[in-house]
Structure formats: C-alpha cells, structure tokens
Amino acid sequence: MTKNKEKIPPVVKLNYSKGDLIIKAGDYGKSIYEIISGKVGIFVESGGAETRVAILGPGMIVGEMAFISGNTGTRSASARALEDCWLEVWHPAILLNDYKKMPDVLRLIAGQALKIIVRMNKMVVELSLKQGKHKDRQTQKLSDQWADKRKLYRKMVSLKCVFRPANSPEELKIRGIIRDVSMGGLRITVDRLGFRNYIPIPGDELFVSTYFESNQKVNMTGKVVWLKKGGTDGTISLGMAFTQMDPDDRKSLGFFLMT
C-alpha cells in the first residue's frame, strides 16, 4: 500500500495564458483540473467545427468526464483558457481509489448525469451548426494556432531507448535514456559517446523506439526542438516534439501516462 502511495504524483499547479489549449478532444488523458483563477471554455468538435458548450470559472472542475466515464476512451471535448488562468492538476490516481469505494448508487447517478451531458452536448452542437456556420469556422482557425501551446501532463521516467534520424538507414542506432515524456513530446539524454556518428540540430526529425512495458514496443517520430550540454560528464539533453505516431502507439503512450 505504501509503495503505491509513493508513486502517486503530487497535485501540480499550472499557469495557462489566454488561448492555451488545456485539453484536446481525442487525446488520451484522465487528469482532472480545478480552476484556481481565470475562465476556461469547453468546446465540442463536430464536422470540422468547434462549438463552445460551457464557460467555467474558479472553483470549477475541468476534465472530469473522461474520469467518470471510467472507460479508456478519449477526451470528448476540448478545454481552452479564455483568459490567463491558474489550474490545479489532479492526477486521476488520487481520486480513483475513492471513486471505486463510493456506493454503487452514487456512481450510477454520476454515470447517468454523464450520459445525459453527452446527449445534450450533441444536441447543442447540432443546433449551433444549423444556426451559424460562419462563426464556427472562425473558431476552428483560432484553434489551429493554439494547438501547440498545450501543456500536457509530463511523466518523469528513466527508459532506455534507441533513436536515429527519421530519414537514415535502420542500422544507425543511437542509445539514450528518456527522462520525461508527455503526449506532446519527450526529453532524452545521451552520453557523450552517443553522438559519435551523428549530431542532431533543432529541426531534425528523429525516429525513437522504446518499451513502456517489458514486451510493448512503441515508436515515435518527432522534431528536435532544443539541445543542451549538461554537467561535466558531457551528457547531452535533447527535447523533441512529436510529429507522427501510429494510433496504437499513441494509445499505449496515453495509457502509460495514466499509470
């Protein structure tokens, strides 16, 4: 029991700027956010357009639907900072035990509320698409600009990996250690001998392979965003933003981040 408790990360406070995407519909994730200050908009996507279904303020919770649905599905709606705001992020593990212990009746009631919200959201989206198409298109454009500013749950790890430039032959293998990873990207450290044959520069596309579980291989492709020389031992750190990932690998990463 105590071992389990140690694994649960603390509640983290995050700062978002106006326009930042907090949750993206379609992502895997079960973190729950409490709004400390500022306003957050909830958007549902349908037919390539976005419709705002709610505006939430301080004291309110964002992202609880994926948690309550209990399944391993994706986020049903996006959440975006409508003004600068502070959010407290709760890793789902801190709630899951309590939720499981709850009397069945309360859990069933919560489940029904969720089911009706999903139905109502759908109705609101359908009606708003009928009523004002031009407005939605504008929202869609803005969301593209904002997509990269997302702050994703970042998990600290120490995972062996191999990588190579995406366009190089497979024989080239550089060994490194993944130090942290999120749905958006990862950070790798490589010892000074690692880059004997190739030195990456920002913008290079890398193909990375690792194992999340003992038998579960995951491949990720991403662009190098930064490089940094660390410490006296000559270790090099590099940050990478994902550009391409197979849906199954993406799902594996989603689950890995939740546990």
Partner 1 sequence: MTVNSQVLMYIVSEESFSDKAVIIKEGSIGDWVYVILEGRVKIKKQTSGGLLTVDTLSEGDFVGEMAMLKQGNSTRTASAVADGPVVLGLLDSVRLAQEWEAQPTRIKKVISNLIQNLEEVTKKAADMIIASK
Q: At CB < 8 A and 24+ separation, what contacts does 103-112 make?
A: 110/68, 111/68
Q: CB of 18: closest distance to partner 1 in angstroms? A: 22
Of 234, 180, 176, the C-alpha closest to 206 is 176
Query: How far are the Cα atoms of 165, 206, 239 from residue 168, in angstroms, in the given order?
Result: 5, 9, 19
| Residue number, 92 or 239, with CB nearest to partner 1 | 92
Contacts of partner 1 in 80-119 (CB under 8 A): 90, 94-95, 98-99, 102-106, 108-110, 112-114, 116-117, 119
Pick 134 or 141: Cβ nearer partner 1: 134
Q: Does 123 bind partner 1 (CB under 8 A)?
A: yes
Output 42 or 257, the one with its CB closest to partner 1.
Answer: 42
C-alpha 239/C-alpha 138 separation (Å) is 32
Among 23, 65, 87, 238, binds partner 1 (CB under 8 A): 65
CB 79 within 8 A of CB 23: yes
Minimum Å gap between C-beta 31 and partner 1 is 12
Does residue 34 interact with partner 1 by CB under 8 A? Answer: yes
How many binding residues for partner 1 (CB under 8 A)? 38
User: Which of the residues 38 through 57 are near partner 1 (CB under 8 A)?
Assistant: 42, 53-54
Q: Which is nearer to partner 1, 113 or 147 (CB)?
A: 113
Distance CA 80, CA 42 (A): 7
Question: What stretch of H or E contains 197?
Answer: none
- HSE of 50, CA atoms in CB hemisphere, 13 A: 19
Nearest one of 144, 138, 146, 154 to 17, comparing CA atoms: 146
Q: 133-146 and 104-131 are packed helices; what angle lies between their axes, rounded to 10 degrees?
A: 120
C-beta of 209: minimal distance to partner 1 in Å? 37
Nearer to partner 1, 60 or 177 (CB): 60
Q: Given the structure tokens 């502070």, which residue do they identify?
A: 86
Contact flag: residue 147 with partner 1 (CB under 8 A): no
Does 8 contact partner 1 by CB under 8 A? no
Q: Kindly list the residues in this chain that would bind partner 1 in the complex (CB under 8 A).
A: 32, 34, 42, 53-54, 60-61, 64-65, 67-68, 90, 94-95, 98-99, 102-106, 108-110, 112-114, 116-117, 119-121, 123-124, 127-128, 130-131
